[in-house]
Copies of this chain bind each other. A is one copy, B any other.
Amino acid sequence: MITIDTRSRVPIYEQLEKQIIKLINLGIYETDSPLPSVRSMACELGINPNTVSKAYKGLEQQGVIYTVTGKGIFVNSTDLSKIHKQTIKALKNVLIDARNSGIQKPTIQKIINEIWEGAGNDSN
């Protein structure tokens, strides 16, 4: 369900965070249901447990998941508004760059339509 591209310039922990968010948004990870343990996730993806841990901590700090010591890690709620804020901030930056380099609004519209209607993969 989760795929990591070790060659990508996007840090592994960010790839993980994004894909977990996607799975939560899709309803595959439900509120108060447990995520795979750090170890099993690391093993499954063939990455360093530290890296998984970093991703989990990032998500916890954003209020998306919570830890119960000795029990595991759980989805906090499917309210992703905090995440949205960050994403929108990043989006604004890129859009400003696009505008500054002279890309026209209709070009942007096309791209949006492509992505929202297209089969759309991930962004690594």
A45 at the A/B interface (Cβ < 8 Å)? no
| Cβ A98 vs Cβ B88 within 8 A | yes
A22 at the A/B interface (Cβ < 8 Å)? yes
**A interface, size bucket:** 35 or more
| Cβ B95 vs Cβ A21 within 8 A | no
Cα distance, A92 to B115, chains bound together (Å): 8
Please list the 4 inter-chain residue pairs (A to B) with the smallest Cβ-Cβ separation, ordered nearest first.
A93-B123, A22-B100, A25-B102, A96-B123
Residue numbers of A with Cβ under 8 A of B are 6-7, 9, 11, 18, 21-22, 25, 61, 66-69, 71, 80, 83-84, 87-88, 90-103, 105, 107-109, 111-112, 115-116, 120-123
B residues in contact with A90, CB < 8 Å: 94, 97
B residues in contact with A87, CB < 8 Å: 94, 97-98, 101, 103
